[in-house]
Structure 1
């Protein structure tokens, strides 16, 4: 079996905007298995700055799900109360603000007054540079801050286990938002800052987040975050419902909360995921599920 490289830390980083579903569990199990094989510690980091969608029940669900499925973590909060008291992203606002100040000092951002309805009227969610040359004041009310970007800039992404690939920013990420209209930092910026702050060097996420990875690598290159630029990424396949529909937190029938209430055991949940990956047979735990996804072609670092 091929020896995998050693890593220091990875993270489980759910967003409490709904009850966790089978797709989240696949990502968590794969994270835990990659950590086991590479010797990395696991950080539980909950992304809770979307304050309009975050609910206490969704935060509690994260702890309930991890404990029910016996998925381990080594750092971070052990309870919802400890999370709110010590680990919420609101406690790291000064770090995010410092990164935003640095972007302003580098003349790397511009103000944008476009609402989602304006973007939709312009043809979709992709931003077309409407405010790019309007020199709107950054400190104006209800302004997004967008990053100046180039679709020609080559980005190098390190991929699991020890490879790399070159790519460019997709059009959907052109001039992406780093500070939202409400003044809060946007996801791409907080993710880069948090991973740097906690010393994460291995990131596991779904294949649908490849554009986000490219945006974060782009942002890290502007901020000269060399440690983030050395991060290794594993983008795993997504679980799809019938009709090739991606799982979402609004699909209650795939939520772990629903399945627990229906009397399902952890092995039932892991086996359901395996069947959605077209694997027959029983899967008893996260180790077996992670091994199924990875294949038994690597072993823990010595």
Structure 2
């Protein structure tokens, strides 16, 4: 699952992206991902796009969007494309402005008969490691109220390009018949993310290893849609964990960059907290130094 950090030979990429979801205040784990993205962009000549993934309309909040800008500026992490502030984001960069692209992709899936409607609730699916196929043959109308759209997946081997070559794995069970349109009518993350990456020409993607299954699903979806996404390179980094050994949550206030700023910590102090959690014992003075130290750890 892990990609080798060191590249066998210098490589050049066109564009990478920082793509947070505005569903809570960003934590040290998010900052780690941003730092790795910025470092790899520097090494490979890639431009960095700031893309805020806000299709979860029930949870997206201007306070959390503003926190994205505050966090990047506090850590001094650069980006070359995308919104510079909340006003620009709301005026032209929200995913709302790309709904026509997502809906066009959904319509292609609909016309080709590759999706089905599902009215299962979360409680009905709780406890299932994979979607059990409950609604696949029910022929529920796609325009029925309160239904999600699921892609009809088949067993498949998927090649993921990393910084040193390719890793081939099967589409995981948890991505069986994955959702491409949510019950609220908005595109699901797997679809909007791959459509955006293709639209913006992203060819280098940094993610936590918890999104490995999503990478496989998105490559599968891009194949179904005939999109030129298979050449994008991925780096999946290890996660920073909480004191209890679990994945960090955006609701965990003490690990948020906002909380640390409000406690009066400096940028250097926060970077060294991230460094320590990532297993770096040396003192660092900026994110570039931290990136260089991280390469030996991740």
Q: Name the TM tier (shorter chain).
A: over 0.9
Shift in Å, 1:278 = 1.9
Question: Mapping of 1:73-222 within 5 angstroms?
Answer: 73-120=79-126, 123-124=127-128, 126-150=130-154, 152-159=155-162, 161-222=163-224
Looking at structure 2, the residues matched to 249 and 272 of structure 1 have their Cα atoms a distance apart, in angstroms, of 17
Instruction: Tell me, yes or no, if structure 1 residue 243 matches structure 2 residue 244.
Output: yes
Looking at structure 1, the residues matched to 99 and 283 of structure 2 have their Cα atoms a distance apart, in angstroms, of 44
Which residue in 1 is equivalent to 2:290? 289
Query: Taking structure 1 as the reference length, what is the TM-score of the superposition?
Result: 0.94
2:271 alignment partner, SS class: helix
**Where do 5+ consecutive residues of structure 1 fail to align?**
297-302
Which residue in 2 is equivalent to 1:62? 68
Looking at structure 1, the residues matched to 123 and 219 of structure 2 have their Cα atoms a distance apart, in angstroms, of 28
Q: How many residues align?
A: 291
C-alpha deviations, 1:33-64, integer Å up to 9, x for none?
A: 00000000000000011111111110100001
Looking at structure 1, the residues matched to 23 and 225 of structure 2 have their Cα atoms a distance apart, in angstroms, of 29
**Where do 5+ consecutive residues of structure 2 fail to align?**
1-6
Shift in Å, 1:247 = 1.0
C-alpha deviations, 1:153-177, integer Å up to 9, x for none?
A: 1111101x23101111111111000
Looking at structure 2, the residues matched to 7 and 89 of structure 1 have their Cα atoms a distance apart, in angstroms, of 24
Cα-Cα RMSD: 1.3
2:78 alignment partner, SS class: coil
State which drifts further: 51-60 or 6-15.
51-60
Instruction: Tell me, yes or no, if structure 1 residue 52 matches structure 2 residue 53.
Output: no
Contact 2:8 2:164 in 1 (8 A): no
Which residue in 2 is equivalent to 1:23? 29
Shift in Å, 1:2 = 5.1
Query: Taking structure 2 as the reference length, what is the TM-score of the superposition?
Result: 0.95
1:212 alignment partner, SS class: helix
Contact 1:17 1:58 in 2 (8 A): yes
C-alpha deviations, 1:130-151, integer Å up to 9, x for none?
A: 001111111111110000112x
C-alpha deviations, 1:170-204, integer Å up to 9, x for none?
A: 11111000000111000000000000110100000
Looking at structure 2, the residues matched to 221 and 61 of structure 1 have their Cα atoms a distance apart, in angstroms, of 35
1:24 alignment partner, SS class: helix
Looking at structure 2, the residues matched to 2 and 154 of structure 1 have their Cα atoms a distance apart, in angstroms, of 25
